[in-house]
Amino acid sequence: MAEFTFELNDDQKQVRDWLHGFAKDVIRPAASEWDEREETPWPIIQEAAKVGIYSLDFYAQQFFDPTGLGIPMTMEELFWGDAGIALSIVGTGLAAVGVLANGTEEQIGTWIPQMYGDPDDVKVAAFCSSEPDAGSDVAAMRTRAVYDEAKDEWVLNGTKTWATNGGIANVHVVVAVVDPELGSKGHASFIVPPNTPGLSQGQKFKKHGIRASHTAEVVLEDVRVPGSCLLGGKEKLDERLARAREKAKTQGERVKNAAMATFEASRPAVGAMAVGTARAAYEVALDYARTRVQFGRPIIDNQGVAFQLADMRTQIDAARLLVWRASWMATTGKPFTSAEGSMSKLYASEVAKKVTAQAVQILGGNGFTREYPVERMHRDSAIYTIFEGTSEVQRLVIARTLSGMPIR
């Protein structure tokens, strides 16, 4: 078991510096343009593919880092460059992880390469879970998957929302209800192959921030997929449903709690994204405060500005440490007895909103214009307290974990 450490090893430092260079030289110069265009930055994704960042191999290496720091380090550096472009680069990973976690070896080998394409013809994938009436409340999901035994096909109907790459993806991974009586335990995941009839893009959202990342509804109307597209296979699904029905008779709410607990392990990655954005805004504000002269001296000489910067740096470092602790715990199999995953996401996301707002304030009128990046960073930061569970949901999870009450 890897010991917890605050020091990156030489290999991790090399990867961090490589990612930082890409974020500095490729992502950041393009950030304003793609934010204004509100379009998927295909040329930047292609550049990431050419150097090996946009690939399953790279993310697998970081995911299996025994210290647990590979993924948060990656997220922080890419989102330091720009949140919208970074999300376009890492968004496919959500779908890939869904297949890796639930799929067979054959499904993994068949579908994940199609999610990424190749450097000359990059593709993206979409993970479709949220619905108009089922965001944090996953048990309220309505998209149904019905098995047609005669044809060995699954028929999917419903509407998904807030899907990163939804509708433009080569491969969609869709979570649907197969047994409504089991709540979130009655869900299963399905691959929807390219050009499958019945799948269409609904509304594309015009967002406050992360505008370079494509977010849209995905509409499923009698979408038929082969039985082989059920992740894990039908035999495994039937066994899991049978166990869930038996547990439901004796454990009640605890069946649902197990599903909620799975989200805990993924939340530190979102916290790392928030840390990257906060750090970027802090660095801009620090450089500005050192060079901006008012009343005959740099504004950092004013205690009101200096103390803000001191608080910003302290909060960013504290957020990173919470993220690293939770990531290490998840990788080494230590249970989140105090909802440490939610703690890291809650604190880091709130810090990102606060720090970016302070950066705008330190830059004054310049911070309010699009000539300086902190305005965009402040808009981008708003998403961190919303997706992957709102701050209110994180507080609820933490409070109920500490009190021993069921997580609903």
Tokens coding 378 = 């402040």
| CA distance linking residue 350 with residue 354, whole number of Å | 6
Question: For residue 401, how far is the Cα from the chain centroid?
Answer: 23
- Give the length of the chain: 408
In the block, tokens 């290496």 appear at 61
Pairing of strands 187-192, 297-298: unpaired
Question: Nearest-CA neighbor of 54 among 165, 205, 216?
Answer: 165
Which of 103, 120, 121 shows the shortest CA–CA distance to 112?
103
DSSP assignment, residue 110? H
From CA 218, how far away is CA 201, in angstroms rounded? 5
Q: Which of 307, 316, 323, 322 is nearest to 283 (CA)?
A: 316
Catalytic-role residue among 153, 350, 388, 392: 388
Active site residue 105: no
Cα–Cα distance measured from residue 263 to residue 248, given in angstroms and rounded to the nearest whole number? 20
DSSP 136: S
Phi, psi of 191 (to 5 degrees): -85, 130
Catalytic residues: 388
